């Protein structure tokens, strides 16, 4: 059941599961005596101060209830105030489709909070898995999205793929998603005020068990996303998902280091060509210098059956480390990307699908060490910044 006060005509799209109330005080009374409502729609005529006060009042006592605010104009200040108060979504008053989706997401979150309780069980944190290559074109996004789908396993686990390539991220394109919001929309909320109820409104679902937090779609929108905000986002996500898979740009920037610091596993990707292997060797040396434990490294050779005159054994000799997994090449992989469906879902019996699923289950889902300490994080970032200046 959805409650509403002074909704716009767009709320007609929510019928018949819609109960109209006359005032904000009536909503408060109803929530105190009824436990059925999951979402409350506060229309454009409801004063912003009343809407914020109502959301603040029930944020802790009824966390499963979500508030969706309709406004004639949705701007950054209103969005930031609303999300800080605990309102889950703000939609334009004439956007019927957006309202339906906002209520659906709010209902899903409310149901999840009812199932899971207000706090995760001790030791129940999910794993953060960061996929990295210092060279572009190695297939980071393909591996990230397919590994996410493999770990989700049709809804058996809850997995989120985070696109941390803030300038040129391709997760949304690879999965043919049309996000309403992106990671850039977390910036007005700030590190201190961001909680999971607000962060959940920025997620874009893909398939059972698999959702995404996509990169900004507007040029320049990524400017100013601090590493502290990335850390907060990843911490919130691992409290609410079984696996957080992070797709990264080909650079050791502060945002990538923030992901490394929280990672239970770092998937280091390369292909059978000299530039990629050279960059992988430099990456391994850098991770050693930054004291990231080797037991967290997972070396993955993508397109490993390419006939280019290099063998896997030669690669292992050069790198002085073993290859964790080998993913074969196939023309079906770009074809599946063009269809917006990860190949592990499109063709589960394909050799590429089998290799990725084996890696996901045997080398990721089997478990990994806890994240690093805050002191070590600061030492690593400081070290890398000093190297950049020299």
Which pair of structure tokens corresponds to residue 272? 């059978």
Instruction: Compute CA distances 178 → 204, 206, 218, 340, whole Å.
Output: 8, 10, 13, 11
Secondary element (H or E) of residue 40: strand 39-42
pLDDT at 301 over 60: yes
pLDDT band at 379 (very low <50, low <70, confident <90, very high): low
The pLDDT of residue 80? 79
**Contact at 8 Å (CB) between 189 and 200?**
no
Rounded to whole angstroms, the Cα distance separating 124 from 144 reads 23
**Contact at 8 Å (CB) between 148 and 159?**
yes
**Contact at 8 Å (CB) between 159 and 152?**
yes
Q: What domains lie within the chain, and their CATH numbers?
A: 2-116 (3.40.50.2300), 127-389 (3.40.50.300)
* Structure-model confidence comparison of residues 379 and 99, the more confident one: 99
Q: Please state, for a pLDDT cut of 70, what percent of the chain lies above it.
A: 88
The pLDDT of residue 311? 74
pLDDT band at 377 (very low <50, low <70, confident <90, very high): low
* Structure-model confidence comparison of residues 120 and 32, the more confident one: 32
Rounded to whole angstroms, the Cα distance separating 116 from 31 reads 20
Among 304, 289, 302, 319, residue whose Cα is nearest residue 379: 289
Among 159, 160, 241, 234, residue whose Cα is nearest residue 191: 234
Rounded to whole angstroms, the Cα distance separating 267 from 250 reads 13
The pLDDT of residue 235? 94
pLDDT band at 313 (very low <50, low <70, confident <90, very high): confident
| Cβ contacts of 118 within 8 Å, gap of 6 or more | 63
131-135, 243-247, 361-365: which is most confident: 243-247
Rounded to whole angstroms, the Cα distance separating 359 from 382 reads 33
pLDDT band at 116 (very low <50, low <70, confident <90, very high): very low
pLDDT at 240 over 70: yes
pLDDT band at 119 (very low <50, low <70, confident <90, very high): very low
pLDDT band at 132 (very low <50, low <70, confident <90, very high): very high
Q: Is 121 left (phi over 0), alpha (psi -120 to 50) or beta?
A: beta
The reported pTM is: 0.69
pLDDT at 310 over 90: no
β-bridge mates for residue 68, sequence order: 41, 89
pLDDT band at 191 (very low <50, low <70, confident <90, very high): confident
For the chain, report the end-to-end CA distance as a whole number of angstroms.
61
Secondary element (H or E) of residue 205: strand 204-207
Phi, psi of 91 (to 5 degrees): -125, 155
pLDDT at 236 over 80: yes
Rounded to whole angstroms, the Cα distance separating 60 from 110 reads 13
* Structure-model confidence comparison of residues 266 and 64, the more confident one: 266
Among 149, 145, 148, 168, residue whose Cα is nearest residue 215: 168
Rounded to whole angstroms, the Cα distance separating 270 from 139 reads 8
Rounded to whole angstroms, the Cα distance separating 31 from 246 reads 38
* Structure-model confidence comparison of residues 125 and 182, the more confident one: 182
DSSP annotation string for 253-292:
-HHHHHHHHH-SEEEEEE-SSHHHHHHHHHHHHHHHHTT-
pLDDT at 368 over 50: no
pLDDT band at 92 (very low <50, low <70, confident <90, very high): very high
Among 168, 203, 144, 159, residue whose Cα is nearest residue 337: 144
The pLDDT of residue 386? 52
pLDDT at 112 over 80: no
Rounded to whole angstroms, the Cα distance separating 178 from 192 reads 28
Q: What is the mean pLDDT of residues 96-112?
A: 84
Burial class (CB in 10 A: 0-12, 13-18, 19+), 19: middle
């Amino acid at each position: 059941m959805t409650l509403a006060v002074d909704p716009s005509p767009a709320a007609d799209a929510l019928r018949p599961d819609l109960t109209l109330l006359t005032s904000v005080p009536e909503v408060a009374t109803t929530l105190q005596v009824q436990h059925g409502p999951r979402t409350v729609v506060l229309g454009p005529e409801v004063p912003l101060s009343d809407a914020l006060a109502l959301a603040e009042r029930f944020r802790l006592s009824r966390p499963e209830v979500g508030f969706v605010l309709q406004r004639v104009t949705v701007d950054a200040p209103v969005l930031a105030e609303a999300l800080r108060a605990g309102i889950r979504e703000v939609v334009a008053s004439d956007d019927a489709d957006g309202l339906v989706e906002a209520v659906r997401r709010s209902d899903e979150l409310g149901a999840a909070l009812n199932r899971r309780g207000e706090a995760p069980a001790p030791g129940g944190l999910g794993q953060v898995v960061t996929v990295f290559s210092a060279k572009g074109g190695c297939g980071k996004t393909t591996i990230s999205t397919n590994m996410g789908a493999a770990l989700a396993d049709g809804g058996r686990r809850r997995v989120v793929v985070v696109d941390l390539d803030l300038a040129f991220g391709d997760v949304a394109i690879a999965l043919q998603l049309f996000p309403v919001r992106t990671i850039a929309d977390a910036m007005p909320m700030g590190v201190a005020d961001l909680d999971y109820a607000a962060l959940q409104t920025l997620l874009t679902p893909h398939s059972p068990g698999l959702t995404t937090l996509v990169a900004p779609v507007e040029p320049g929108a990524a400017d100013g996303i601090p590493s502290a905000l990335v850390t907060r986002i990843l911490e919130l996500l691992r409290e609410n998902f079984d696996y957080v898979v992070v797709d990264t740009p080909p650079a050791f920037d502060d945002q990538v280091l923030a992901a490394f610091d929280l990672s239970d596993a770092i998937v280091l990707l390369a292909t059978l060509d000299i530039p990629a292997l050279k960059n992988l060797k430099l990456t391994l040396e850098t991770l050693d210098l930054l004291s990231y434990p080797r037991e967290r490294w997972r070396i993955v050779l993508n397109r490993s059956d390419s006939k280019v005159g290099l063998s896997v054994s030669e690669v292992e000799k050069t790198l002085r480390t073993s290859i964790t997994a080998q993913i074969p090449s196939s023309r079906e992989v770009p074809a599946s990307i063009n269809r917006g469906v990860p190949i592990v879902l499109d063709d589960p019996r394909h050799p590429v699908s089998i290799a990725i699923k084996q890696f996901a289950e045997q080398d990721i889902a089997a478990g990994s060490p806890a994240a690093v300490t805050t002191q070590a994080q600061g030492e690593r970032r400081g070290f890398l910044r000093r190297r950049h200046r020299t």
